[in-house]
């Protein structure tokens, strides 16, 4: 099993199989439009622009589970990202990342790298208490902008805390890219 075995909805509610990203290194991110971390969209776009021709992409999954910070409908979220941050990477339909309604993709991501293996800004493994009241040590996503780095073959190799700036992940992305 790999990330490529999952099907998700795009912002227009069309099914998208993640197999279409086979051969590309991906950064999967749960996002929100009204979060203090929302400006990370600019760095996500910078990573996408810098490495897309070498086989990298950002996969954006809006989520409204954390203090309702992504209340817009899918088309509005996509438009917000494009107009305010110039995003050109794929923005998918909103989904749940935690709880009984968590999308199977995020259940899988959390199983591959639980929260206690999440990397912080210093590069250390996360060992602190969770930030969100619904997150637990079981691997739940603790906040918007948690990031999962995925190989071209679909294997999850790293999980980054929400506060890790996307540009800080550039070296890890470069290690996975082939020229």
**Residue 26 and residue 41: Cα distance in Å, rounded?**
15
CB of 92 within 8 A of CB of 11? yes
Clarify whether 35 is annotated catalytic.
yes
**Residue 45 and residue 38: Cα distance in Å, rounded?**
12
Tokens of 175: 């290690």
DSSP one-letter string for 17-68: EGGGGTTSEEEEEEE-SSSTTTTHHHHHHHHHHHHGGGTEEEEEEE--TTTT
Residue tagged active-site, from 8, 26, 28, 35: 35
C-alpha separations of 72 from 79, 175, 176 in Å: 10, 36, 34
Q: Which residues are part of the catalytic machinery?
A: 35
């Amino acid at each position: 099993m790999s990330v490529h075995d999952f099907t998700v909805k795009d912002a227009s509610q069309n099914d998208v199989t993640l197999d279409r990203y086979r051969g590309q290194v991906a950064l999967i991110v749960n996002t929100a439009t009204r979060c203090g971390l929302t400006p990370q969209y600019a760095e996500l776009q910078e990573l996408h622009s810098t490495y897309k021709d070498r086989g990298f992409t950002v996969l954006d999954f809006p989520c409204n589970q954390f203090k309702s910070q992504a209340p817009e409908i899918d088309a509005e979220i996509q438009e917000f990202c494009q107009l305010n941050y110039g995003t050109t990477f794929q923005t998918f339909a909103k989904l749940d990342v935690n709880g009984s309604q968590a999308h199977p993709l995020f259940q899988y991501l959390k199983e591959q790298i639980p929260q206690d293996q999440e990397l912080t800004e210093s590069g250390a493994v996360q060992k602190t208490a969770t930030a969100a009241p619904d997150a637990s040590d079981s691997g739940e996503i603790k906040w918007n902008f948690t990031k999962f780095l995925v190989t071209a073959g679909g294997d999850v190799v790293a999980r980054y805390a929400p506060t890790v700036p996307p540009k800080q992940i550039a070296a890890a992305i470069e290690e996975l890219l082939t020229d």
